[in-house]
Amino acid sequence: MNPKVTDYLSQAKRWQDEMARLRTIVLDFPLTEDFKWHQPCYTLDKGIVLLISSFKDYCCLAFFKGALLKDPNGVLMAPGENSQFVRQMRFTGMHQIAELEPVVRAYIDEAVAIEKAGLKVEKKPATVAIPEEFQQTLDRNAALKAAFEALTPGRRRMYLIHFAQPKQSATRQARIDKCTLQILAGKGMDAASRSMKK
């Protein structure tokens, strides 16, 4: 038992009992308990198997290679629409953990087997549509188009997701305008976010 996890759980403002119960279950498996990214993390030979995470509306077991789990019970969900690897098993009460404990144990067992076998999730090329406003901006600005195409695929994808989120065209255009200098400088969304906060 990692003392950092014990401290984290003792100070958790929500889902404290639920996360403690999930921890007890996970510790029955041959995993190393660590504390990474401000949450309990469980590894096998340094490979991440799962995390225990807390959110406003639920806590969860987040299986790092969850896309490889068979999920015959249909209880896993992607944390976001662009998630390729991680799958969450979400809980909103102790009763739910008790009811699903055999399923939880079976899924952890399968996740451990996947890690032992060295299986990898095949990453699919992520395709994100270019918002119309950004395409028009690129068509008018050759330097911006060249700078955007020179960015890494991950940075391009993050910008496209950021630009596509607002429902209003004016808001999408405002985001594009705010990020233009960062793109021209070859910087990613992290740098753009920092400059917008100044």
Residues 69 and 43 in one domain: yes
Residues 11 and 83 in one domain: yes
Residues 159 and 93 in one domain: no
In a domain? residue 125: no
Residues 42 and 90 in one domain: yes
pLDDT tens digits, one per residue of 54-69: 999 999 999 999 999 9
The segments of the chain whose pLDDT lies below 50 read 192, 194-198
Average pLDDT, the chain: 91
Query: Is the CA virtual torsion 156, 157, 159, 164 positive or negative?
Result: positive
- Give residue 164's domain range: 132-197
Query: What pLDDT score was predicted for residue 24?
Result: 97
Query: What pLDDT score was predicted for residue 125?
Result: 60
Reported residue count of the chain is 198
The residue assigned the tokens 């050759």 is 142
CA–CA gap between residue 192 and residue 181 (Å, rounded): 9
E-strand stretches of 10-142:
32-36, 39-44, 47-54, 59-63, 76-77, 87-91
